[in-house]
Amino acid sequence: MSELVLSNPSKVSIVLATMHRPLYLQTALESITKQDYKNWECIVIMEYDHEPTKVLLDEFSQLDSRITYFIKPSTAGKGVSNSRNFGLQKTSGRFVQFFDDDDVMLPFHISMKVKLFEDNPQADFVVCKLGGFYNEYKGTCNDPPSYGFEGWINQSNINTFFQQDYKINSC
């Protein structure tokens, strides 16, 4: 897929929570660094100090200055939601993309989402479909994207949204 040219590239802050699974984290970070959208920062939040994870993050942050990491203080609370909340305090981007250490982004993931915001300025957030896989991902970056804008939530439809079975994942 060719790189999308956006009229006013906006920084995307990727907040990545890790529970110290370096092998998964390496794959996640590799997928982030291969994005065709280049104006991003990746803020990795470690649940606690873990040497193998720290070594991996030192390597990635030396190779790409857009990647930084923090060890979440105990005062921030345990769990992935608290990691994301702590990470949000460190962001500088216009948009936020939550991510976990066992997630993988196709190379056009961020550019497609930013384009959805550009095409739909009334949207406060966009949601994309996702797929699961086991072991190694066997798809390619040429897989047809299943991204699309299906609507947005505002005051007139918020009750309908919460009363129906409409699932939103953190990605």
Strands (E), the chain: 12-18, 40-46, 67-71, 95-100
Dist. CA 65–CA 67, nearest whole Å: 5
Q: pTM of the entire structure?
A: 0.79
Please provide the average confidence, as pLDDT, over all residues in the chain: 81
As a whole number of angstroms, the distance between CA 31 and CA 109 comes to 10
Phi and psi angles of residue 13, each rounded to the nearest 5 degrees, phi first:
-100, 115
Of 5-19, 61-75, 101-115, 122-136, the least confident:
122-136
Task: Tell me the CA end-to-end span of the chain in Å, nearest whole number.
Answer: 21
> Does residue 147 carry a pLDDT above 50?
no
* Tokens coding 139: 């798809």
pLDDT in tens, 62-104: 999 999 999 999 999 999 999 999 999 999 999 999 999 988 8
25 class by beta-carbon count within 10 Å (0-12 exposed, 13-18 middle, 19+ buried)? buried
For the CA atoms of 74, 75, 79, 82, what is the dihedral angle to 10 degrees? -140
